[in-house]
Amino acid sequence: MYEEQKQKFTEDELYERDYELFAKYINWKDDRERRNYKTQIKGYDDSKVIKQMYNTILDLLDTCNENDRILSIRDMRIRGLESALLKEQNK
């Protein structure tokens, strides 16, 4: 967001916008955890918020890598089964 756009919002409104964007990527156990986290993070200074966002991004990357690994294993298994099926049909 540009500086002139930021001036149209209060500090709380800017926090709400950032929080809603950031919170999409966090897995919550329940609504209570979400509310507690929201209250907790509001008291953080900028460097701690940035660190928290960085850690969340790293967690998301790990999740993506794990999902990619699982999908590649599934695809290899499917190709193996297709190959076995074709060999069986060609007999």
Q: In this structure, how many other beta carbons lie within 10 angstroms of the beta carbon of residue 52?
A: 16
Average pLDDT over residues 31-43: 80
Residue 38 sits in the same domain as residue 48? no
pLDDT of residue 61 exceeding 80: yes
Q: Confirm whether 2 is domain-assigned.
A: no
Residue 48 sits in the same domain as residue 90? yes
pLDDT of residue 1 exceeding 70: no
Residues 56 and 21 sit within 8 Å (Cβ to Cβ)? no
Residue 79 sits in the same domain as residue 65? yes
Residue 23 sits in the same domain as residue 55? no
Q: Confirm whether 4 is domain-assigned.
A: no
Average pLDDT, the chain: 84
Q: For residue 82, what pLDDT is reported? A: 95
**Number of structural domains, the chain?**
2
What CA–CA distance (Å, rounded) separates 31 from 28? 7
Domain that holds residue 38: 10-43
pTM, whole model, 2 decimals? 0.54
